[in-house]
Structure 1
Amino acid sequence: MKKNQLFHFCLFLFIFQPFGHSQEFSKQVSDFIAIQDSMVVFRNATVIDGTGGPIKYNQDIIIHNNKITAIGNTGKIVLPKNTKTIDASGKTLIPGLIMLHEHLFYAKPFDNNYKGTHMTNTFPQLYLAGGVTTLRTAGSLEANADLNVKNLIDRGRSLGPTIDVSTPHIEREGFIPQLQSLYGDENIENWMNYWFDKGITSVKVYNNITKEDLSTIIKVSHARNIRVTGHLCSITYREAAELGIDNLEHSFMASTDFVSDKPEDKCVFGEPSLNGLDENDPNLLDLMNFLIEKNVTLTYTPTVFEPFTNREVIPGGGKAALAPYLLEQMQAIYDQSINTKRDSLRLLSFKKEMKRVLKYHSLGGKITVGTDPTGSGKTIAGYSNQRLIELLIETGLDIEEAIKLATLNGAQYLQIEKETGTIEVGKEADLILIDGDLSKDVTAIRKMELIFKNGIGFDSKKIFASVNGKVGLY
C-alpha cells in the first residue's frame, strides 16, 4: 500500500470507529472533560428539576453511565461504593438547557448592512459552556456546515450540544443577501425534501413569504413529521395558525396582526402597533386564545431585544469572548445608544413584551426560549443563554417555572421529553452543576462548574476561557 493510501485508510478507521457510551473523544473534546466515570454521585445538592415543581434541598443523585438511576434525600438512598463523589453542598443542579432559537453564526453589522459569519468552532463550544445541552438552530446561513458540525459533535470529534438543524431561512425577497432561498417558480417540495434527505430536522420560514408558500411548506414538512417555525412579517400570526404552523419566533414581537390596513402577503413594520397594546387588550387576548386553541408554541427571545441603557455591553458578561476589534465596535455602538430616545422606546417595547409573554403563559400558552445571537452583535452564544435565565426572572416568572421553560418545554417541543429535559430517574444525565443557590440568587446561573451531557462532565470555565478573544474570527 502506498504511503498516501495508507494515510487515508488510517484516517477512515479513525473517523468511522463505532461509538457507544464508551465513546472515544478527539483531543479537542477530551481536553475539556472533567468527569468520565461510569458511576457518579452528587451529594447534598439543591435540585430544580425542570418540571416546574418545588425546589428540593439536600438531595443525592446517582448517575450510572449516561442515565440518572436514583434521586433521594441525603442519607436516605444507598450509595454505591468506590464511585466518583461530588460534594454539591451549597450548589444547585438543574437540567441541561434546551434552547430553541440559536444560530451557529455571529452578527457583523457593517454600514447599516447585515452579515452573518459562521462560528464553526467557537459557538458550539460556547453553547455547551453556557449549559446548553440541546439546541435548535432556528434558521441556517450555512445548513451544510451546521449539519457537519452536528455530526462531528455526535461522533465525539467536536465539542458542543446536541443540535436540531433547521433549513436555511425560507423567504423570497429578503434584505439579507445570505438568506434568500426561493426563486421564481422553484419547486418548494423538491427544495425541502433535498434538505430533509440530508438530515435537516426543523423548518424555519422568514419575513417575506406568501400564504400559498407557507401552506405548501407546512404540508410537505408535516408529511415528513417535521415541524415548522417562523419569524413572520408578511403573514400574520392568525393566518399562520390557521395554516397549521407549529411555532412562532420572538413571541409577539414579530406579529403584524395589529397593523391597520396591512397589505396581504406584504411585510410591514409591526412594532409600533404593538406598543399601543395593553396585555389585557381584548383583541390581543383573542389572538392569544386562538393561538392556544391551534396549539401554537411561542419562542421567547428577550436577550436579542434587551436595551442598552443601564445594561451590559455584552449580555451575560461575555466581553472577553469577542475579538478585540469587534469588542471595540460593540462598545462604540453601546456608547452611541445609551440614554437615547430610541433606546427608551426599546425599553418600552421590551417591558411590554414581558407582560404579553407572562399573560400568554398564564392563559396556558406553550412557551419555549432561545437567544437569537444576531441583531447588533451583542448577543453571544453561551453567555446569552445564561443571561436568558435572569431575564425570565425579570419577566416575572419564579425560578422553578423559568427553568422549566428553558428545559422541559424545549424537550416537549422537540419530542425528546422521554429522554431529557428534567432531572428524573431513567432520563439521560444532562445536568448543570452551579456554584451557589439559584433559588436565592439567579445571578448564580453565571457560576456553572460542570455541564453533564449524556453522562460526561465538561468543565464550563475551561471551555469559556479557551475561546476568549476568538468570537467573530472562528
Structure 2
Amino acid sequence: MGTTTSFFSKLGLFLFLFSGNHHSGYTQPKPKFVIYNQSEIVLENARIVDVVKGTVLSGLSVQISNGKISGIGKTGTKVSKNAQVIDLEGKTILPGLVMLHEHMNYNNGAAVWNFHPVSFPKLFLAAGVTTLRTAGAENPMYDLNLKRQIDKGIVVGPRIFVTGPMFNDASGGFLGDFIISNYEEGRKATAFWADQGCTSFKVYTDISREALRGVIDEAHTRDLMVTGHLGKMSCTEAAKLGIDNIEHSFGSCSSDLKLLWDSTWNVDPEQKEVKDLISLLVAKNVVLTATPFSDSDYKNPVLLEYLSVDERKRVEGYLKDPPPFIPKEINDKQLRPLEKQFIKSGGKVVLGADAADAGLLPGFQNHHAMISMVKAGWSPMEIIKMATIDGATFLKIEKELGSIEVGKAADMLIVSGKPDQKIEDIQNVVLVFRNGIGYDSKSLREHSKGLVGRH
C-alpha cells in the first residue's frame, strides 16, 4: 500500500511540473471577440425559447445585470439609461448549450492525441456551447489547467466540468489509458483525480468489475459521478454496480445486445434483451449520453478550412477511403429508436458530440448532433431541451444554468431564424453570452481557422 501512495504522490508532482512547463502553450492573446461587456445589457424584441415550459415567447426583453439575468418583460419597458440596448428583431434567444461528451484533444494521426487549448474552446463557444463536460483525456491536468485559465478570464471558452483519465485495464488499447487493476487501485485513482479537481470519472472498454466497483464507491462517497464507454463489461453489470451514466448510449452495450463493431447491427426495441436492459437502466437511474452523427459530418468541406495543412490532407484521405475505426452511420441510426423507448420508459438521455477525430469539429458537431436527433424523430424543442436544461440537471447546476430565467447566469446564444421550428437554424449563431459577456461568434471561428490538428 505504501508503494501505491508514493506512486500517486510522485504522479501528482510530475503532472504539476509537466503541466506548468506547457503553460505558455495555451495562454493566448485576446483578439476582439468580446463585443458587449457592459454591466447592464438589455436584449429587445426577442423570441425567447422557454425550455422549461416548452414554449416560445415573443416581443420580450431580457435584462442582464452583472452577468445575471435580472429581468424578463415586454419590450418597451423602461430601462436604465446606462444600459446597452441590443435590438434582436428576427432573432431567437436560447439558453447556452450544455454538452456532455466533449474533448479538448484531437487525434491527428499521432500515437497520442494532441491537446487543443487554442482552437477548441473558441469553437465550442462560437457555437453557443457555454458549458461542457469532458469525456476523458490522456492527461486531464491539461483540461484542469485550461479550465482554470478560462475561469480566470485568461483564455476565452466555455465552463468546463472535467472528467478524469480513461480508467482501463492493462489489456486496453490506448497508450493514454490510466491503468487500474483492482478495487483498491480504483478507489485510490479516483481519490487522486478528485483531489485535482475532476468532477466525474470515465471507465473504458476493458475495465474489470472490481476496478469499476472501486471507482464507483470512491466517487459516490464524494457525491461525484461515474460514466463509462463499455465493451467487455455489460451495461447490465455496470448498472448493478451503480454506474451513473453510459456514453454513446446503447452503443456501449455491445455485450448485452451482441453487437459487433465491424458488422452491421440489427437491433429492435421490441427484443426481450432490449426491453430487459431498458427496464434495468431506468430502475437504476442510469443516464445515457447520445453522440449521434451522420456520414456527411465527416464529409463537410466547410470544415476543412479549420484544419491545419497536414490535417487537411489526412482528412481528405479519410473522405476517399474511410478507416475502419470510424463508426457506421447505419449502426448509429439504430440506437435512436432504443433511446426513444428508453425515454418513453422513464429514462433520461443527454447529448454530446465526441468531436475528436477525422475532421469532426467542436461546436459544428454539437449542432450536427442536434440536427441528427431531430431527423431521427424528436421535435426541435425536445432536442433543444435535451441540449440545455436536461444537461444542466444532469450536472446538478439547473438552479444556475440551463434555462432563461431571472436569477440565472446570463448564458445564452442568439441565432438568426427559429431553431425551435427548424433545427438547422441552430447553426446561425451570431452572438453568444457567457456570464453576461457577449462574444462575436464569427470572430471566434475566424481565429480558429487553420489551427485544428496543431493546437
**Partner secondary structure for residue 219 of structure 2:** helix
Aligned counterpart in structure 1 of residue 156 of structure 2, from 156, 159, 163: 159
Match of 1:40 in 2: 41
The residue type paired with residue 312 of structure 2 is: L
Confirm or deny: 8 A CA contact 1:99 1:406 kept in the other structure. yes
Gap runs ≥5 in structure 2: 1-26
C-alpha change, 1:270 and 1:51, in structure 2 (3 Å) is farther
Distance in 2 between residues matched to 1:185 and 1:247, nearest whole Å: 20
Match of 1:106 in 2: 106
**Partner secondary structure for residue 428 of structure 1:** coil
C-alpha change, 1:350 and 1:187, in structure 2 (3 Å) is closer
Distance in 1 between residues matched to 2:257 and 2:338, nearest whole Å: 17
How many pairs are equivalent?
428
Match of 1:346 in 2: 328
Measured after TM superposition, the shift of residue 186 of structure 1 is: 7.1
Aligned counterpart in structure 2 of residue 150 of structure 1, from 147, 151, 154: 147
Match of 2:295 in 1: 307
Match of 1:431 in 2: 412
Gap runs ≥5 in structure 1: 1-25, 261-268
Q: Equivalent residues in 2 for 1:280-299 (5 A)?
A: 280-299=270-289
Confirm or deny: 8 A CA contact 2:257 2:274 kept in the other structure. no
Distance in 1 between residues matched to 2:37 and 2:362, nearest whole Å: 25
Confirm or deny: 8 A CA contact 1:70 1:425 kept in the other structure. yes
Distance in 1 between residues matched to 2:98 and 2:69, nearest whole Å: 18
Q: Which has the higher strand share?
A: 2
The residue type paired with residue 54 of structure 1 is: T
Q: Deviations over 1:34-79 (max 9, x none)?
A: 100111111111111332511222221111111112223434x443
Confirm or deny: 8 A CA contact 2:96 2:402 kept in the other structure. yes
Match of 1:85 in 2: 85
Aligned counterpart in structure 1 of residue 173 of structure 2, from 172, 175, 191: 175
After superposition, the CA RMSD in angstroms is 2.4
Confirm or deny: 8 A CA contact 1:430 1:452 kept in the other structure. yes
Measured after TM superposition, the shift of residue 226 of structure 1 is: 0.9
Q: Equivalent residues in 2 for 1:66-465 (5 A)?
A: 66-75=67-76, 77-109=77-109, 115-172=112-169, 173-182=171-180, 187-259=185-257, 270-271=260-261, 275-303=265-293, 306-308=294-296, 313-314=299-300, 317-337=302-322, 346-374=328-356, 376-465=357-446
**Partner secondary structure for residue 333 of structure 2:** helix
**Partner secondary structure for residue 471 of structure 1:** coil
Confirm or deny: 8 A CA contact 2:236 2:281 kept in the other structure. yes
**Partner secondary structure for residue 424 of structure 1:** coil
Report % sequence identity: 34
Confirm or deny: 8 A CA contact 2:203 2:226 kept in the other structure. yes
Q: Equivalent residues in 2 for 1:50-65 (5 A)?
A: 50-51=51-52, 53-65=54-66
**Partner secondary structure for residue 375 of structure 2:** helix
Distance in 1 between residues matched to 2:395 and 2:266, nearest whole Å: 34
C-alpha change, 1:244 and 1:383, in structure 2 (3 Å) is same
With structure 1 as the length reference, what TM-score do the two structures score?
0.85
Confirm or deny: 8 A CA contact 2:318 2:358 kept in the other structure. no
Measured after TM superposition, the shift of residue 335 of structure 1 is: 2.1
Confirm or deny: 8 A CA contact 2:182 2:211 kept in the other structure. no
Confirm or deny: 8 A CA contact 1:232 1:255 kept in the other structure. yes
Measured after TM superposition, the shift of residue 259 of structure 1 is: 4.9
Distance in 2 between residues matched to 1:212 and 1:183, nearest whole Å: 8
Measured after TM superposition, the shift of residue 108 of structure 1 is: 2.3
C-alpha change, 1:383 and 1:346, in structure 2 (3 Å) is same
Distance in 1 between residues matched to 2:446 and 2:31, nearest whole Å: 16
